[in-house]
Amino acid sequence: MSFTKDQLIEIIKKQAEDKDYFIEEDAYEYIKKYIDESQKEDGESFANARSMRNILEKAITNQATRIVNVPEKTKDILCLLKKEDFEKG
């Protein structure tokens, strides 16, 4: 099933919230750009929830690497996914 860009943004937002993560506002611009580029490359086959789950999982992995050396990990630090976490995809 194909989704619009706005629907895909809502899907990734919900997936993140279900895992107790919040996506930084700046990251959404990158995600939209990623969707646009991927839809151009992959056509309609890209626009699905699985694609959003995959980039979210990569961002979570990148976030873990980014914060590994942070001495005091607050809940805010542990739950926030930044633009850079998505860019490292």
Structural contact between residues 83 and 26, judged by C-beta atoms closer than 8 angstroms: yes
0.85 exceeded by pTM: yes
pLDDT one-digit tens code per residue, 23-79: 999 999 999 998 888 878 776 666 688 889 999 999 999 999 999 999 998 999 999
Q: What is the per-residue pLDDT for 64? A: 95
Q: What is the per-residue pLDDT for 50? A: 87
Phi, psi of 26, deg, nearest 5: -60, -30
DSSP for 4-65 reads: -HHHHHHHHHHHHHHTT-EE-HHHHHHHHHHHHHHHHHHGGGS-SHHHHHHHHHHHHHHHHH
Confidence of residue 89 (pLDDT cuts 50, 70, 90): low
pLDDT: is 4 or 19 the higher one?
19
